[in-house]
Structure 1
């Protein structure tokens, strides 16, 4: 039975799998000498400063982004506290009943001052 090209190729691959190339001692000694020469001395890392409000402002996008964030916050509070008629008419349609939110404040705003 003659060997086919695939059998020869498989035999070459098997020989290659069996090879374990090892670097010689001279090469390893030169590598270690280079590595030891390149190693820095004692390095002390500088402490990182804690992020302040300017870092948070920069992370959010600066003054223009904070202006938009403040405007959206004020508009959200305003719409939430003084709901327009459209929202008041829409809520019963969604839940099927009148919706009221008690904020813990009576009709008299001075009731908050009572102990």
Structure 2
């Protein structure tokens, strides 16, 4: 597959000759390159407007709530609340039993309206 017995001395000689030869850039070409670069720099400076850094709504909300440490505490409290709501310990009453044990008639006005219709 891989031939390791290649004779690369011709390539080495060419590379050595290329390394020894120093290319000289003509002065007029160098001046044109520098002038072009300066022109591009000036055009970018004139076009670029100062940026106004705006703070997003999520960042403001995060700052109002107290930053990332407070968000970590709120996430832990939320997880604990969900856990206690789904699987409460024996000392706490089951919230679903409390909801089901309550009256289904929450509005007294409905009873009054029903009594008025029956008469």
Instruction: Report if TM-score (shorter chain) is over 0.5.
Output: no
Task: Pick the structure with greater CA Rg.
Answer: 2
Instruction: Answer 1 or 2: which has greater helix percent.
Output: 2
